[in-house]
Amino acid sequence: MLDFLLMLVVLAAAAGLGYVVIRRIPSMLHTPLMSMTNAVSGVVLLGALLLFAVPAGRSEQILGGIALAAATFNVVGGFAITDRMLGLFHKGAAPGQESATECRRS
């Protein structure tokens, strides 16, 4: 039971701290920040997978499953957004999107 309470405290502290940090960042820096959080989410994925490798109670398994799903969603979304952002810098940008060099010429 103590382990479960410790995990809840860490989750609440991380959520609160994350909200405070993200709230203060200018919107044009969100995409690079998303790229950096992929590394953190990768660590969360490993931790959640390790949680499933040892015998755990039902509540711990549910919390680990939520962490696994949230971190997976963040990693996939982060890579998708980063790929889209990097696509803007290629000469063959997707139709309807100008590359960064074309934007500077205008």
What band does 28 get if pLDDT is binned at 50, 70 and 90?
Answer: low
pLDDT tens, 61-98? 888 788 788 888 878 877 787 777 777 777 655 555 55
- pLDDT for 61 equals 82
Greatest Cα pair distance, the chain, in angstroms, is 62
- pLDDT for 92 equals 58
- pLDDT for 10 equals 86
Mean pLDDT score of the chain, rounded to an integer? 75
Total domains, the chain: 1
Range of the domain at 27: 2-105
d(C-alpha 106, C-alpha 74), whole Å: 35
Provide the sign of the torsion angle of the four alpha carbons 25, 73, 39, 1, taken in this order.
positive
Give φ, ψ of 33 to 5 degrees: -65, -40
